Structure 1
Amino acid sequence: MSGQLQYCGIMTLASPLWIAARARLAVRFLRNPVRYCRKVDRRALTFPDPMEGMMHLLVDNNGVKLHVATHGLGTGKPLMLFLHGFPETWASWRHQIQEFAGQYELVAMDMRGYGDSDAPKGVKNYTVDHLVTDVLSVLKAVGHSKCILVAHDWGGTVAWHVAALCPEVVEKLVVLCSPHPAAFKDPKRFDGEQLKRSSYMMTMLSSVAEAHIRNTDFREVERMLVEAPFGARRTDTFSQQDIDRVKAALARPGSLTGGLNYYRAAIAQGTKWRVEAAERVYSSPVVAPTLLMWADQDLAFLPQMFQGEDKLVQQRTVVCLRDCSHWANQDRPEQVNAHIRAFLEGGKPVLGRPASTSNRGSMIMVNVSATAAAGGAASPRPGTPRLVPKQD
């Protein structure tokens, strides 16, 4: 009952935020109704892989198909597994794939609800226990028992839980612009100013905001990525093709709802629902060596959110990315790649290589039934693959 009351209290407090958000959206609409009502059909668009030799897999986790983009599988090299955040896809890691190709086996997931992955209906399908088992299923499918886990934004939240609850599968952890979940429980860090910065999350709960985003060609998503004050610092961070890829992915049936359900589930699992995985992260230390990067121009989080956690993150290196927005791995890829390389190799930073492009890879279906539960390692045996057409 207390959880239900707490949830109702949060929803009541969110009402003024929803009203304010509706007012802002109405003003933007009235300023340029033609632009906001314009709809673009991107279903026929295709998008190149960031480099040659990529393969695409579909992994089945108890009926939910997860799309992953891969490079170098089967070479026997360590696995680097990438998890993205809202509102992105696996392609947000294009700069890191180019940088570390040939040195690691690379796997970039479309998280459930995004891109070519399934978007199951219902908020309960997006609680953190499901998200953790998604990662374990992918790890099992690609034939590895552990990985270097690299994550951003919501992917970072999932990565913190994987590293804490399944320590045997994480060799090293890299997290960008995503505080440890315990930071949100600490009133010294999650203070009034941080609450203001996080208030946008409450607007994500609203079905009105979701409908507005969908019915205005995802213009609000584009603003968030490219326009001040939240957008990227560099004007060339996102090309028009990058924006079209994000919008095309969000336009898939159920995808926008799936992405927003991460926010809805996070509120619900902290109040009206009891999710064991969500509770255990506050008492289960991360033992893997961890690199935590935060951006000095990230309006989502104050620097204090990345402090503390000495007991919960035992081997931690914290790095500030200068003149960098929340979209760190895309906004300042040279900085990010150099810090990752230095962290993994223990040497001097090495700048990233120039980008290259190629045609799409093929897609393979991998069936993985019995997913390992959160808290146990996944078996490294993959399922039986079969070729299926890749859809962009």
Structure 2
Amino acid sequence: MNLPSRLLNVSVRMSILKYSCVRTLYYLPMYILVIPVVIFIVLKGLLRHGPCWLFYKKERLERPACMDDPQLGNHKFVQVKDIKLHIVESGDPKNPLMLFLHGFPECWYSWRHQIRTFNKDYHCVAIDMRGVGESDGPPGKMNYTCDLITGDVCELIHVLGHETCILIGHDWGGLIGWKFAAQYPEMVDKYIAMNIPHPDRFNELVSLYLPQIIKSWYIFFFQMPWFPERGVQMGDYNMINEECKHGETTDEDIEAFKYSISRPDRLHTFMNYYRNELTLIFTKTGVVKTPTLLIWGTGDDYLHTRLSYDTEKFCPNLKVERIEGGNHFIQQEQPDLVNQLMKKYLEKEITLEI
């Protein structure tokens, strides 16, 4: 099949799958297959730890000390439209803004390694996105649409006294980053995405490529009411231990993520991102013209490495750096290498502009 025909087929699928009723029928086998997977996970926990483990949840009232490390910056609350966002700010505000957007199940703290490296040359700001951690979390799924979240980012840049930024995004923050760069290209000098494909490329594979559909099983599970929240909370948020404890991540770092997600209603509001995700994915993003670096760990359990290929048609000014065997949380698992790649890219781009 030639390229125009392939693109036509992708376009047709996107136009059809943007309707929720059609998506439900199309992915019905996945919704059915998710049930035994979840039952297996619950039974495994029961056999290993006993029934009390399923409902155990530690109370966390204060930030872990690692989150108040002065090297990471000052905690502030910024009014953005009708909500307050929690940010951690470091570096000289006169320097170019480097804005960090986190993924699930994390918070601003997932960028600790990058903040320490780049706040000497940049005005570094890492945020808890709406509905996460110490930021406001308005109730209701419709308060977590893409337009509202990208609108938060746009308003925040202006409130911080900047007109543009170097945008850094991972996972959910990376998805928002792609959308923001497409919607507000004049506000993004450079974009660095980590283990998150361009949404239109993700659409291509999640609508047709079986290995990626299978890797995306959790997205379908998260569409359900109540059960996903209960599943994430099992064993005092054991899922965070299993998924995030890699590389240089310590037990105290894990406590930081658990503190963030265990704040009142925050797991539910964070889950609303996923409950809007299929609509977001099947709404066309379009071409991103911003100079972009895509850093990709090839050992990602959730996103197939094939997603990191054939993205140039959606982002012509793209550089891809693949880290062999690196996992989904690449900026925390291999921070030194990621920071080197970021520095190399940013310095090269600056030199070219001069």
Paired residues of 1:167 and 1:287 also in contact (CA < 8 A): yes
| Post-superposition CA distance 1:76-121 (Å, at most 9, x none) | 1111100000000101000001111211110001111111111221
- Structure 1 spans left out of the alignment, 5+ residues: 227-231, 272-277, 348-392
Q: Per-residue deviation at 1:200?
A: 1.9
Match of 1:218 among 213, 218, 237: 237
**What corresponds to 2:6 in structure 1?**
none
The residue aligned with 2:42 is 26
**Number of the residue aligned with 2:89:** 70
SS in 2 for 1:291: strand
**CA distances 1:325-366 after superposition (whole Å, capped 9, x unpaired):** 11111000011000000000019xxxxxxxxxxxxxxxxxxx
Once residues 155 and 209 of structure 1 are traced to their aligned partners in structure 2, the CA distance between those partners, rounded to angstroms, is 20
TM-score by length of 2: 0.86
Distance 1:10 1:334 in 2: 42
Cα distance between partner residues in 2 of 1:264 and 1:295: 26
Q: Which residue of 2 aligns with 1:165?
A: 183
User: What is the CA–CA distance in structure 1 between the aligned matches of 2:237 and 2:249, rounded to whole Å?
Assistant: 15
User: Mapping of 1:267-286 within 5 angstroms?
Assistant: 267-269=278-280, 278-279=283-284, 281-282=285-286, 285-286=287-288
Q: Is the 8 A contact 2:193 2:294 kept in 1?
A: yes
Instruction: Quote the residue 1:250 is aligned against.
Output: 261
Which among 90, 96, 103 is matched to residue 85 of structure 1?
Answer: 103
Determine the C-alpha separation between the residues in 2 that align with 1:14 and 1:303: 21
Contact 2:206–2:213 under 8 Å retained in 1: no
Q: Hey, what does 2:310 align to over in structure 1?
A: 308
Q: Which residue of 2 aligns with 1:109?
A: 127
Paired AA for residue 183 in structure 1: R
Task: Indicate how the Cα distance of structure 1 residues 45 and 340 shifts in structure 2: closer, same or farther if over 3 A, else same.
Answer: closer
Identity %: 31
Match of 2:157 in 1: 139
Q: Distance in 2 between matches of 1:68 and 1:45?
A: 14
Q: Residues 227-266 of structure 1: matches in 2 within 5 Å? A: 232=246, 234=247, 237-266=248-277
Q: Could you list the runs of 5+ residues in structure 2 that have no partner in the other structure?
A: 1-15, 350-354
Q: How many Å separate the matches in 1 of 2:70 and 2:21?
A: 51
CA distance in 2, matches of 1:26, 1:52: 40
Indicate the SS of the match to 1:286: coil
1:53 deviation in Å? 7.2
| TM-fit CA distance, 1:215 | 4.9
| 1:198 positional shift | 1.2
Q: Quote the residue 2:147 is aligned against.
A: 129
> Does residue 1:9 correspond to 2:25, yes or no?
yes
Aligned partners of 1:99 and 1:337 also within 8 Å: yes
- Distance across 2 between alignment mates of 1:193 and 1:53: 39
CA, structure 1 residues 64+14, in 2 after alignment: closer, same or farther (shift >3 Å)? Answer: farther
Query: What's the TM-score once normalised by structure 1's chain length?
Result: 0.78
Secondary structure of the residue that 1:186 maps to in structure 2?
helix
Residue 45 of structure 1: how far off its partner (Å): 4.4
Give the match's secondary structure for 1:163: helix
Cα deviation for residue 292 of structure 1 reads: 0.4
1:149-188 correspondence runs (5 A): 149-187=167-205
Map 1:95-106 onto structure 2 (within 5 A).
95-106=113-124
Q: Give, in whole Å, the separation in 2 of the partners of 1:115 and 1:156.
A: 18
Q: Secondary structure at the match of 2:315?
A: coil
Match status 1:52 vs 2:68: no
Decide whether the 8 Å contact of 2:53 with 2:234 is kept in 1: no
Structure 1 position 298, deviation (Å) = 0.9
CA contact (8 A) 1:190 1:305 kept: no
Q: Is contact 2:206–2:212 with CA below 8 Å preserved after alignment?
A: no
Shift of 1:307: 1.3
SS of 2:276's partner is helix
The higher-RCO structure (CA 8 Å, 6+ apart) is 1
Q: Could you tell me how far 1:309 is from its partner in structure 2?
A: 2.8
Q: Is the 8 A contact 1:73 1:142 kept in 2?
A: no
Match of residue 3 from structure 2: none
Q: Which has the higher helix share?
A: 2
In the other structure, the counterpart of 1:199 is: 217
Instruction: Tell me, in whole angstroms, the C-alpha distance in 2 between the residues paired with 1:265 and 1:313.
Output: 24
Tell me which residue corresponds to 1:345: 347
Indicate the RMSD between aligned Cα atoms, in angstroms: 2.2
Cα contact 2:99–2:167 (8 A) shared by 1: yes
Aligned pair count? 329
Distance 1:308 1:189 in 2: 16
Residue of structure 1 in register with 2:337 after alignment: 335
Q: How far apart, in 2, do the equivalents of 1:175 and 1:19 lie?
A: 32
1:194 positional shift: 1.1
CA contact (8 A) 1:173 1:288 kept: yes
Asked whether the equivalents of residues 119 and 258 of structure 1 are also in contact (C-alpha less than 8 Å), the reply is yes
Counterpart residue identity of residue 149, structure 2: L
